[in-house]
Amino acid sequence: MQRSFIVSLAAVLLLVILVLQNTTSTPIHLFFWKFEAPLILLIVIAALLGALVSFFLALGPARKIKGELAEARRRVNELESALKPQSTAREENQKTE
């Protein structure tokens, strides 16, 4: 608990330093538009866009794994149900002996 608090506090401190050091206005030229924005805003936008792209790229493999897991669970249930009649028959044979 204390370790994660210290790590979080250090991350927030580094973020505050980053914000304070990157407040200067930067000219942006995007296609036909020209505007100025604080550098930290551009850094945050770029980080958020990168996170969004990573998230959407991870959705495909995650969906595939989820489907494989559902198929594996279905197969386990089938195998377990196939074993139940055999195990009850063995138990009955052991009781009669």
Average pLDDT in the 72-96 region? 76
- Does some domain include residue 5? no
Instruction: Give the Cα separation of 61 and 86 in Å (integer).
Output: 38
Give how many domains the chain has, as a whole number.
1
Percentage of the chain exceeding pLDDT 70: 87
This model's pTM is above 0.85:
no
Could you report the per-residue pLDDT of 20-56, keeping only the tens digit for each?
888 888 898 888 889 898 888 888 888 889 989 988 8
- Does some domain include residue 55? yes
Instruction: Give the Cα separation of 41 and 38 in Å (integer).
Output: 5
Q: Which pLDDT does position 15 carry in this prediction?
A: 84
- Does some domain include residue 19? no
Q: How far is CA 10 from the centre of its chain?
A: 23
Q: Which pLDDT does position 92 carry in this prediction?
A: 63
- Does some domain include residue 14? no
Q: Is the pLDDT of residue 95 over 80?
A: no
Domain with 39, as residue range(s), is 25-96
